[in-house]
């Protein structure tokens, strides 16, 4: 299991420009980015090469692109169920 404490680099939505954040705060968290730190760790410990990492990143991009295409090509949910399962209920 990997626990990766991270930071939301962007706002909550497209309408949130994150102007309330100081550049120094963002930089501090960029320096602790667990994905970048892990990438450096696997390279420094000869677990993966730059080529391996590039191949993994490309595979992930294809997966994400396929997921986006699926979502864009899927029909919208019927409005009668559009709000189902948004909130927890033990009923």
Threshold 0.75, pTM exceeds: no
In this prediction, residue 11 carries a pLDDT of 79
In this prediction, residue 57 carries a pLDDT of 97
In this prediction, residue 13 carries a pLDDT of 83
Q: How far, CA to CA in Å, does 15 sit from each of 20, 30, 36, 52, 56?
A: 13, 22, 27, 37, 32
In this prediction, residue 91 carries a pLDDT of 66
* Rg of the chain (C-alpha set): 19
Give the pLDDT means over successive 10-residue stretches in the chain (91 positions). Answer: 81 81 89 92 98 98 98 92 81 66
């Amino acid at each position: 299991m990997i626990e990766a404490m991270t930071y939301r680099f962007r706002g909550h939505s497209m309408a949130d420009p994150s102007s309330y954040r100081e550049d120094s705060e963002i930089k501090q968290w960029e320096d602790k980015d667990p994905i970048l730190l892990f990438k450096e760790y696997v390279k420094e410990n000869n677990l993966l090469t730059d080529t391996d990492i590039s191949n993994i990143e490309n595979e992930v991009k294809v997966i994400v692109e396929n997921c986006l295409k699926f979502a864009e090509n899927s029909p919208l949910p019927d409005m009668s169920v559009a709000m189902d399962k948004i909130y927890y209920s033990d009923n």
